[in-house]
Amino acid sequence: MPQIAQLGQYWSSQIFWVLLIFGFVFFVIGRGMVPKVMATVALRDKQIGDDLAAAEAARKAADTEEESWRKRESENRAQAQAILAEARAASAKATEARLADVAARLDIQLAEADARINAAHDGAIGEIETVAAEAASDIVSRIAGVSVDPAAARAAVKEALHG
């Protein structure tokens, strides 16, 4: 094979050129480009780490702000409940005072009505006694032919009605 026979002639020059090309590639890429790429990766890692730290700090600040907001909201709610309770108490007190005033007026009106009813009752009883005494006196004089004293007839009717 002629290719193998020529190997001895060109072997040293091919090794030279392979070493020269690999050396050139090693120095250009390995010593020139790889450090720049690694520096860029390190810079990105640092920037990502800084961004994550800033995000964590912002989250903690937001959590703190939310907690203080919840505390303020809770205090405001408690104040509103206290104001509402005071308003209810004042309203209940005012309503109770109005009810007491109305009850007092109704008691006065009921007492006046009771007095009028009692007066009307007493007047009616008096009239009934008078009519009954006159009727009894008239009946006795017609049936028995005896004249009865009006005071005695009235006393007899009272005895019969109340007694």
- What mean pLDDT comes out for the span 157-162? 80
> What pLDDT, on the 0 to 100 scale, is given for residue 14?
82
HSE toward the beta carbon, residue 157, CA cutoff 13 A: 22
pLDDT: which is higher, 152 or 83 = 83
∠ CA(151), CA(154), CA(160), 5° rounding? 145
Per-position b or e across 15-37, b if 16+ CB within 10 A of its CB? eeeeeeeeeeeeeeeeeeeeeee
Mean pLDDT of the chain: 90
Q: How far apart are CA 54 and CA 68, in angstroms?
A: 21
- Single-letter residue type at 104: A
> What pLDDT, on the 0 to 100 scale, is given for residue 88?
96
CB 93 within 8 A of CB 118: no
> What pLDDT, on the 0 to 100 scale, is given for residue 154?
83
Q: What is the pLDDT of residues 30-68, one digit of tens each?
A: 888 999 999 999 999 999 999 999 999 999 999 999 999
**Which of these ranges, 14-23, 86-95, 110-119, 137-146, has the smallest mean pLDDT?**
137-146
Q: Where are the domains of the chain?
A: 2-119
> What pLDDT, on the 0 to 100 scale, is given for residue 148?
80
